[in-house]
Amino acid sequence: MVSKLIKERWLRLAYAEDSTTVLTEKRKDDPCETGYMMMGTKEKDGKEVPNCVDESDDLNEADVDEAIEEALQSWKQMISESGFDKEKKDKMKANSPRYLRKGEPGYGKKQKVVKATHGGEEKIIKFGDANMKNKSNVKSNRENFRKRHKCADKSKKKDWDTASYWACKDW
């Protein structure tokens, strides 16, 4: 009884757009065998793997809520790490700042986004105040901004993964 409740709640949260079809059929990307359901992830041999639990196990309500909360936190963290799904991240041009588009994560909070790459590492960085006009074409504004943010001290080698470096580079 409780396991069915867990599965329904988890599937509704994880796949909100098609929850009615998900409840009746097993998803193709479900890593667990029949009779088991995924309840978050766990650490195994230094790798993050799905935590598959027996659907017939009876768990108390507190364990259910805790497991669902843990799974949602890891899911949110995975999404927010880059702010973009892998497909969008792969399509972005490296080291080329652009304005955030409506509907993208961070729109309305930050003004620009860049896929920063250096030495084989990649990181999505959002920077700039979304509610402020960027008047970098005015020489005095540009000089004051660069002085205020100490842009002369920033280098790609040590600051490539910071928002302040990309803001300075954009100005």
- Per-domain residue ranges of the chain: 2-81, 86-170
Instruction: Report whether pLDDT(81) > 60.
Output: no
89 in Cβ contact with 70 (< 8 Å): no
Q: How confident is the model at residue 22 (pLDDT cuts 50, 70, 90)?
A: very low
127 in Cβ contact with 166 (< 8 Å): yes
Of the candidates 15, 40, 41, 47, the residue with the CA atom closest to the CA atom of residue 28: 15
The residue type of 88 is K
Neighbour tally for 123: CB within 10 Å? 15
Strand partners, 136: none
pLDDT digits (tens, 9 = 90+) for 92-137: 888 888 888 888 878 888 889 888 888 888 888 889 888 888 788 8
pLDDT confidence of residue 24: 46
Q: How confident is the model at residue 6 (pLDDT cuts 50, 70, 90)?
A: low
pLDDT confidence of residue 20: 46
Strand partners, 116: 123
114 in Cβ contact with 93 (< 8 Å): no
Task: Provide the mean pLDDT of the chain.
Answer: 76
Which percentage of the chain shows pLDDT scores above 90? 4
